[in-house]
Amino acid sequence: MRNKIQLERTDASWIAIAAAAAGAGVYALSRSLEPRMVSMPARQLSRARDLVVHSTDAARRSPARTLASVAMLAAGAYYLSNMRKARSEDATFGSVVEESIVVDVPVRTAYNQWTQFEQFPQFMETVEQVTQLDDSHLHWRATIAGKTKEWDAEITEQIPDERIAWRSTTGPHNAGVVTFHRLSETQTRIMLQLEYKAETADEKIGGAFGAVKMTARNNLKKFKQLVEARGVETGAWRGTIGQQAH
């Protein structure tokens, strides 16, 4: 009898935890679907609500299903929240990813190495090839969501030891800027901002779950390893492009 009572108390505790977690999931889901956000098709709204109702009922019926139900709610809320954000951003340019890293080399060394665009495949995991056509134009080939894509890009601004900005002129719509900030004689902070517009369903799903952000973060880590291991740049282009060019 004592074991039975203890088991019932344990079950009750799990149910309470499930109810609290489900409530949090419902709240997050409702925030994702609130009227002021970008509207979603009625069928998707219905499926989202069904997910909340069924997951909550499952948690009440069986404590053994609690963790699975909570995981479903959390994943559903997170996914819909990010998809809502992606839909909103699609109305303008696309999604924005920002990452930064500190490298233990002088700002001049970090900047000079970044100007060696054709060496990008050494630290950018999805980039297959970069061909520099002239001082301000590049041709890219990369794997995006499992498919090979190619595009041309134009460097719109380049200031030695400060920044490099670019935008695509053909193919997948993307743009970005990388800036270099001197922290000390031997340390530099690199800040990367990418703007892209997902074209396929696979790309949109990857963006919603942070695949692009993770790739950008890993690329910066590999660049750090590369430049710190060498200690010096493999080349440099010190020209200026843009409004401040002279």
Position 243 in a domain:
no
- Residue-level pLDDT at 29: 44
The verdict on residue 102 lying in a domain is yes
Q: What is the pLDDT of residues 183-223, one digit of tens each?
A: 999 999 999 999 988 877 776 776 655 788 999 999 999 99
Contacts of the segment 9-17: beta carbons below 8 A, 24+ positions apart: 10/63, 11/63, 14/63, 14/66, 15/59, 15/60, 15/63, 15/66, 17/66
Angle at 110 between CA 109 and CA 116, to 5 degrees: 95
Residue 51 shares a structural domain with residue 150: no
Is residue 235 in a domain?
no
Look at residue 125 in the predicted model and tell me its pLDDT. 92
Supply the pLDDT for residue 211: 85
At residue 4, the pLDDT reads: 53
Q: Kindly give the parts of the chain with pLDDT less than 70.
A: 1-93, 203, 206-209, 243-246
**Closest alpha carbon to 66 in 19, 25, 20, 18:** 18
**Cα separation of the two ends of the chain:** 88
> Residues 14, 72: one domain?
yes
Query: Does some domain include residue 72?
Result: yes
Asked whether residue 66 falls in the same domain as residue 106, the answer is no
Same domain? 210 vs 147: yes
pTM of this structure:
0.62
- For 77, the domain range is 2-90
Task: State how many domains the chain has.
Answer: 2
